[in-house]
Amino acid sequence: MKQPILNPFRPGAGHPPPYLAGREEEKREFIRLLDQEPVLTNLVLTGLRGVGKTVLLETLKPLAIQKNWLWAGTDLSESAAVSEDSIAVRILADLSPLTANTLVSESEVRRVGFTATAEKQQTYLDFSFLKWLYDNTPGLTSDKLKTVLELVWTSLGADNSDIRGVVLAYDEAQNLSDQADRQQYPLSLLLDVFQSIQKKGLPFFLVLTGLPTLFPKLVEARTFTERMFHIMTLGRLAEAECRDAILKPITQHACPVRFTGAAVAEIVKYSGGYPYFIQFLCREMFDSYLQQKAGGEINPVVTVEQTIRKLDSDFFAGRWNRVTDRQRELLSVAARLPNCDDEFTVQEVVEQSRKGSEKPFSPSHVNQILAKLADNGLVYKNRHGRYVFAVPLLGGFIRRQEALEGA
C-alpha cells in the first residue's frame, strides 16, 4: 500500500517547526547566561506574535538541561497573575515536580517546625510540604516565597552536587501586571523575590517571554529591572534563513513535492520573514497541491496569492472585525505610511490623514484611538513614544482589504 505524503510544515501557537531556522546567536547568548556564577542577569525574550518566541523557549530548555540546570515553568495565564498569592502558588506548583523526590534534612525539618506523621517519617519536598511551609511562614507573601526557595535550593544542592541551578521560565509573561486598585502587586513580588535570592547567591535564573509590552511593564514596576535582565528581541528571519525554513523540511522528509524558485521567493516576500507565516504559507500550498493531485489534476496550480487570501481569512479577519469603523479608518491611514511595519508617530498619522481624507484626524483623536487599539492588542507603544502594529504584517492585510473594497 502506498504511504500517504505527509505535510512537514506545522503552523500553530508554539508548535515546533520541522527545522528551526536562524536563532543561533540567541542560543549562544543563552548558554553564556547559564555560565554566570552567581546569577546577575536574567532573560527577557520578546517580539511580536508569530516571530517564534515560544518555539525558541522550548529549544532553550534542553540546552539548560545539558548544562545541568533544572527547568520549571509554564504559560502565565491571567488567572495565575491576578494576585501575589496566585503567582507564588504557581511557582510552588512548577517547582514541586523537580523536588518531589528530594528529602529534607532532619535539621531543616526541625528548623521550619514541620512534624512528620507516623506513616511518613521522611519529609519530601512535594507540593503539600512546599505549600505547608509557604502558609506557615510569617510575614509578607515575598517573605514566604523566599523562605520556600531558600529551602528548595538548600535541599537540592545537598541532594545533588552536580546541579548548577534552577531555571524558572514563563511564557506569555505580559499577562503579569500590578493592580494598585486591588492592592495586589504580583509583578513587583516576582522581581523583588528574585533580586533578593540572587543577591544571596541562590542560583535561580528567571526567563520571561512575552510581547513587546512586557519589558516596559517590568521597568514601570521596578526601576532596577533594567539592570536585572538581558533583553533578547526576536526579529524577522534573514532571507537565507527563510529559504532554509522553506526548503530544509522538504529535503529532510524526502518529500516528492517541491517548491519552485519563484514560489520560494514569493513565500519569502509575503511571509515578511516571520516564522509562523512561513509555516502557514508552506503548509497551505503543500496541501493544495496534494488535494488537486488527489482530485485528478495533472498539473496542479498553486500560487502564493491564493494562499494569502486564506491567511487573511484565518489570521487577520477576526482581529479586523473587532474594531470600530473609525478605528479602521485610522489603521488604514497608518497602513499607508511607508514605515508602518516598523514604527510610526502620532504626528505621522495626522499628516498622512490630511492627504485625501475627508475626515482628517487631530493629534488628540489619534492618541485616544491608538490607546484604545493598544488595549485591544492591535498596536503597542514602545519606550521611545512611537507606535507599532502588534500584529505582524497587519499593514499589508489592511491595504489588501482596501483594494478589495475599492474593486
pLDDT score, position 115: 59
pLDDT value for 109: 65
Residue 370 has pLDDT above 90, yes or no: yes
Question: For the segment 34-47, what is each residue's pLDDT rounded down to a tens digit?
Answer: 999 999 999 999 99
CB 94 within 8 A of CB 72: yes
Q: C-alpha distances in angstroms, 172 versus 46, 185, 207, 381, 387?
A: 10, 17, 11, 18, 21
Mean pLDDT for 11-36 is 88
- Res 382: pLDDT: 78
C-alpha cell at 196: 533578593
Average pLDDT, stretch 171-182?
Answer: 87
Rounded Cα distance between 385 and 176, Å, is 22
Instruction: List, for residues 82-137, the tens digit of each pLDDT value.
Output: 789 999 999 999 999 999 988 877 666 666 666 554 345 678 889 999 999 999 99
- pLDDT value of position 263: 87
372-398 per-position pLDDT tens digit? 998 888 898 876 778 989 888 899 899
pLDDT at 229 over 50: yes
* pLDDT tops 70 at residue 2: no
SS (H, E, C) 145-184: HHHHHHHHHHHHHHHCCCCCEEEEEEECHHHCCCEHHHCE
What's the average model confidence in pLDDT over 313-333?
90
Q: Which residue has the higher pLDDT, 157 or 169?
A: 169
Q: Which of 118-132, 136-150, 168-182 has the lowest mean pLDDT?
A: 118-132
pLDDT at 27: 95
User: 284: number of CA atoms within 13 Å, CB side?
Assistant: 23
CA–CA dist 17, 278 (Å, integer) = 10
Q: Is the dihedral of CA 312, 315, 320, 322 positive or negative?
A: positive
The predicted structure's pLDDT at residue 104: 79
Tell me the C-alpha distance between 93 and 26, whole Å.
29
- 157 grid coordinates: 544542592
E strands, 60-117, are 69-75
Neighbour count for residue 299 (Cβ, 10 Å): 6
pLDDT surpasses 60 at 68: yes
Q: Is 19's pLDDT higher than 90? A: no
Better-predicted residue by pLDDT, 63 or 290:
63
Instruction: Give residue for cell 495586589.
Output: 184
Q: Give the pTM.
A: 0.86
Crossing angle of helices 261-271 and 275-294, rounded to 10°: 140
- In tens, the pLDDT along 51-63 reads 889 999 999 999 9
Gyration radius from the chain CA atoms:
25
Provide the mean pLDDT of the chain.
Answer: 87
What is d(CA 310, CA 230) in angstroms, rounded to the nearest whole number?
38
Residue-wise pLDDT tens digits, 194-204: 999 999 999 99
